[in-house]
Each structure stands twice: as structure tokens, then as C-alpha cells.
């Protein structure tokens, strides 16, 4: 995938530096890993090259959102009423994972300890990860840990959103429908 | 389309002067003009004049940071339109939103767009964070930009959460009731935090005005400032580039 390239000329004709003579052994272990693709050496003008791409990406996003907005209405239920509690009452989907945690762990853990831990750990991530390499092969532990975190986050949100019915109890009927009825209710 | 001093036709000369007064340089017909245009244009200044080819491949950033920013802009603009109709009072808020949805011309599209773009932004920011992690793009010298990013993620979630209350329907107050009840569990400060957030014990007028002010002024402003710093550092630290 990545190959060491000889120095090349960019469009303006200036010479990019040639890589150092090959190194090996303990020296290599102590050297920051710099492997370049030819692409890395080449540059392009951001305007219009990059700006044009950004414009296209923005346009695509806009058209997509416009189509969705024409087709699908944002929810608007009955006017707020403190005396009628909907059952179940759910947090917005991105916090429903937390609500799911609250269902499984004591509040002080789920509501305070876990979220604080995640935020603090996230802030500290670049300082805790002392591994200088960015190549996936070299950072298996980091990748596995992060992937576990992502999977758990997604799983809790999916469970809270699609598998929790009345009183936030486990409920298969949300996705499978009621036995005896032909479609989910 | 550059200003031609010797232009005989007065109309064309005037148009040329007009164009020249707004845009310092002509259309980017070659790299040199393009570079000068980028250098002298305020809005283009967010970019370096040249970038590594590898950094602009879509497969590298997956456009996710850029898309998050685009959604933020779109949310600001659609939100501005919503503000023309919306009054943050428990007596009128619901009716205002209903009017937007059913009476105001294009009101439904603007409201839908604001809503769906907000959900989309939560997703794109998450994915952006994931791509930065998987590429190890938070490693030195970009540690601090990751920290800024963490706060941007929190701001994005809070923006979305504070907006959730504003339609003042059953979905809104109960979601916020559930959400703010979580704050209660923190030892000692929990109940006080909740009271501070809601301006009372219940989700009522006090909460509505607080969430409104946070949603339309405080959080967007903080978010915007953080983004400015985030982008500045992306430029100063340079792109991580290929793996
Ligand atoms: C409102 C939210 C955010 C916006 C608008 C935003 C925007 C951007 C943009 C436009 C870039 C340039 C590269 C790209 O498009 O991917 C970028 C890079 C970066 N972002 Fe974000 N970002 C946000 C949130 C975050 C979060 C949550 C994190 C991590 C916790 C983060 C960490 C980084 C880092 C470390 C870079 C440098 C990556 C590199 O050089 O390859 N950002 N961001």
C-alpha cells in the first residue's frame, strides 16, 4: 500500500527532498515512522480544486436533506401536559443509551460515574496513548478498545430505542409486532 | 474578466471596475491566479493555498468534519427563520410550531430541515470522531485539537438536547424530564444542577426560556468559537495525511 518514493517534482517544478538512506534495526525502532506515498509529495491548489469538491459535497448534503424534509415531517405530538405522562417516556435517542444504563445499573454509576468516566477518558485519550505509530497494525489494543466502546454505545441506544416498551420494560413487540396481529403496532 | 484599463466601452469598463473592486483577482485560470485568489479572499483563507493531494481524497476525511460544519451552518440559517415565528412562552410556543408546520409558507420544510439536520449532525460528528480515532489523527501534534473536538461533541449534543424542548409538545417535555432527571443522581450537586438547568423543580416556563437562550445564543456561540479554533489548529498542525 505505502511505498517509499524517490524525491519527485511537483507541478511547480521544485524538488521535494529525497528520503534518507535506508535504516534498520534499533535505529528504525527509534525513528518516527514516515512512509510517504507519491501522493503525499504532490500538492494541488485548494482553490478551486478543494473548494469545488467541498461545494459538491455541500450541495449533495443539501439536496438530500431537502428531499427528506419534503417527504418526512418532524414529529409534533399533543401540546405539553405535565399531568399526562406518556408511557414509556424516553430521552432523545442519543441519550437513550444512558437511560438504558440507568435501567441496568445503580443511578450513581449509570448517571454519574460512567458518563464522567467516558468524557474524562476521551479528553485524556491523546495523552494516554503513548504509541507513536498511526498504522492499524501497530495499534491493535487502541483499535479494539475503541471499537468495543463504539459497539456498546450503539447497542445501548438501539436497545433503548427499539426494545424498550411500556415502563421501559423489555418488549419484543416494538419490532416483531403483537402475536396474532399481522403488522407491528 | 480582469479590469482592462484601455477599455473603450464605458459600460464594460464600469463592469470591469465593479468586478475588480469586489474580487481582487480574476477567475482561477491557472495555478498562480488561483493561489493569489485564495490568499486574498477572506473566506477562502480557511484553507492553505496548496494542500497535499492525499489530504483531499474523499476516502481520507470521508468529508465528515466538513459535513458537520456544513450542517452547523444550515442549522444556523434554518434556525434563524424559525426564530421569526417562535416565541419561547408556554402559552404560545406550541401554537407557533404548529403554525410553522401547517400555516407558514415553506414553514414545514424549514422546520423539518432544522430537525433532520440536527439529528444528522449528531451522527456526522460521532462518525468524524471515529474516523479521527481510527486514523490515529489525535496523536502529536494534534492532541489538543482532539480535546477541543471532545468539547465540540458535547456542545453538539447539548444543542440538540436544548432544542428538543422548544416545540413544547408531549415528546419535548417528557424527553427533557427524563433527560434532566439523570442529572439528579450526581451526589450533592445533582439536585442543584437540575434546579439550575430547569429554573425550577419542573419542566415549565423557567426551563423553556433557559433552554431557548442556551439553544439560540449561548451554545451556538461557544460552538462557533470552538470550531474557529478547531479549524485554525487543523491548518496550523497540517493534515495527518495517509497512513
Ligand atoms: C461540531 C463538531 C466538529 C466539527 C464541525 C469539526 C470539523 C473538522 C474539520 C472540518 C476537520 C478537517 C478534516 C475533516 O474534515 O475531517 C477536522 C479535523 C479534526 N477534528 Fe474535528 N470537528 C468536530 C468535532 C470533532 C470531534 C468530536 C473530535 C474528536 C473528539 C474532533 C477531532 C479532530 C481532529 C483531531 C482533527 C484533525 C484530523 C487530521 O488532521 O486528520 N473533531 N474537524
pLDDT per position as a tens digit, B115-127:
999 999 999 999 9
Residue of B230, B231, B232 with the most ligand 1 atoms within 8 Å of its CB, for mutation: B230
Grid coordinates in use for A41? Answer: 509529495
Evaluate: CB of B230 within 6 angstroms of ligand 1.
Answer: yes
CATH number of the domain where residue A143 is located: 1.10.287
Q: Considering only residues 139 to 168 of chain B, which have any Cβ-Cβ distance to chain A shorter than 8 Å? A: 139-140, 142-144, 146-147, 150, 154, 157, 160-161, 164, 167-168
Residue A100 lies in a domain: yes
Judge whether A85 lies within some domain.
yes
At B36-45, the pLDDT tens digits run: 777 777 777 7
- Is residue A93 very low, low, confident or very high in pLDDT (cuts 50, 70, 90)? very high
For B60-235, CATH gives 1.20.810.10
CB contact under 8 A, B140 and A123: no
C-alpha cell of A157?
Answer: 441506544
DSSP string, B91-145: TTHHHHHHHHHHTSTTHHHHHHHHHHHHHHHHHHHHHHHHHHHHTTTTSTT-HHH
Contact A76, B167 (CB under 8 A): yes
Q: Residue B6: CB partners within 8 Å, gap ≥ 6?
A: none
Of B52, B66, B150, the CB nearest to A40: B52
Q: Which residue of B has its CA nearest to A143?
A: B134
The interface pTM score, or ipTM, of the predicted complex is 0.83
Answer whether A95 sits within 8 Å of B97, measured CB to CB. no
The reply to whether A96 falls in a domain is: yes
Query: Which ranges in chain B belong to alpha helices (H)?
Result: 10-22, 31-40, 58-61, 64-85, 93-102, 107-134, 143-165, 170-183, 189-198, 205-213, 219-237
User: Which domain, by its residues, includes A103?
Assistant: 79-176
Report the pLDDT value the prediction gives residue A156, as an integer from 0 to 100: 95
Residue A117 lies in a domain: yes
A63 found inside a domain: no
Number of domains present in the structure of chain A: 1
Does some domain include residue A19?
no
Residues of chain B with pLDDT under 70: 1-6, 26, 52-61, 240-243
- Which set of grid coordinates corresponds to residue A177? 409486532
Q: Is the pTM of this model over 0.95?
A: no
A121 Cβ contact partners less than 8 Å away, ≥ 6 residues apart:
A128
Does residue A55 form part of some domain? Answer: no
Total beta-carbon pairs less than 8 A apart between chain A and chain B: 218
Give the C-alpha separation, B173 to A25, whole Å: 64
Residues of chain B with CATH 1.20.810.10: 60-235
Pick the residue whose CA is nearest to atom 12 on ligand 1. B65
Amino acid at each position: 500500500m505505502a511505498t517509499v518514493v524517490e524525491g519527485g517534482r511537483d507541478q511547480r517544478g521544485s524538488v521535494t527532498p529525497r528520503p534518507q538512506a535506508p535504516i534498520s534495526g534499533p535505529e528504525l525502532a527509534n525513528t518516527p515512522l514516515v512512509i510517504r506515498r507519491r501522493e503525499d509529495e504532490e500538492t494541488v491548489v485548494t482553490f478551486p480544486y478543494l473548494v469545488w469538491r467541498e461545494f459538491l459535497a455541500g450541495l449533495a448534503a443539501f439536496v438530500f436533506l431537502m428531499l427528506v424534509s419534503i417527504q418526512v415531517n418532524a414529529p409534533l405530538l399533543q401540546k405539553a401536559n405535565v399531568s399526562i405522562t406518556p408511557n414509556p417516556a424516553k430521552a432523545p435517542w442519543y441519550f437513550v443509551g444512558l437511560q438504558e444504563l440507568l435501567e441496568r445499573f445503580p443511578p450513581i454509576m449509570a448517571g454519574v460515574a460512567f458518563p464522567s468516566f467516558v468524557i474524562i477518558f476521551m479528553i485524556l485519550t491523546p495523552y494516554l496513548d503513548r504509541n507513536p505509530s498511526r498504522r492499524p497494525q501497530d495499534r491493535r489494543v487502541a483499535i479494539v478498545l475503541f471499537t468495543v466502546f463504539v459497539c456498546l454505545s450503539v447497542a445501548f441506544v438501539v436497545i433503548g430505542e427499539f426494545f424498550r416498551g411500556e415502563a421501559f420494560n423489555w418488549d419484543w413487540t416494538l419490532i416483531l409486532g403483537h402475536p396474532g396481529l399481522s403488522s407491528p403496532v | 474578466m480582469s479590469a482592462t484599463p484601455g477599455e473603450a466601452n464605458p459600460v464594460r469598463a464600469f463592469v470591469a471596475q465593479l468586478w475588480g473592486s469586489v474580487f481582487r483577482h480574476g477567475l482561477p485560470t491557472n495555478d498562480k491566479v488561483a493561489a493569489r485568489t485564495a490568499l486574498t479572499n477572506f473566506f477562502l483563507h480557511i484553507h492553505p493555498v496548496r494542500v497535499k493531494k492525499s489530504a483531499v481524497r474523499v476516502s481520507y476525511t470521508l468529508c465528515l468534519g466538513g459535513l458537520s460544519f456544513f450542517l452547523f451552518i444550515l442549522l444556523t440559517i434554518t434556525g434563524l427563520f424559525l426564530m421569526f415565528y417562535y416565541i419561547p412562552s408556554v402559552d404560545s410556543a406550541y401554537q407557533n410550531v404548529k403554525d410553522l408546520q401547517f400555516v407558514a409558507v415553506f414553514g414545514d420544510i424549514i422546520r423539518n430541515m432544522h430537525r433532520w439536520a440536527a439529528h444528522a449532525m449528531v451522527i456526522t460528528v460521532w462518525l468524524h470522531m471515529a474516523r479521527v480515532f481510527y486514523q490515529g489523527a489525535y496523536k502529536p501534534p494534534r492532541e489538543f485539537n482532539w480535546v477541543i473536538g471532545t468539547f465540540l461533541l458535547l456542545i453538539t449534543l447539548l444543542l440538540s438536547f436544548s432544542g428538543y424542548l422548544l416545540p413544547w409538545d408531549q415528546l419535548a417535555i417528557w424527553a427533557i424530564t427524563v433527560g434532566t432527571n439523570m442529572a439528579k443522581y450526581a451526589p450533592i450537586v445533582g439536585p442543584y444542577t437540575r434546579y439550575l438547568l430547569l429554573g425550577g423543580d419542573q419542566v415549565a416556563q423557567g426551563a423553556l426560556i433557559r433552554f431557548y437562550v442556551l439553544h439560540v445564543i449561548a451554545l451556538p456561540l461557544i460552538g462557533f468559537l470552538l470550531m474557529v479554533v478547531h479549524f485554525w489548529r487543523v491548518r496550523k498542525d497540517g493534515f495527518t495525511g495517509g497512513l
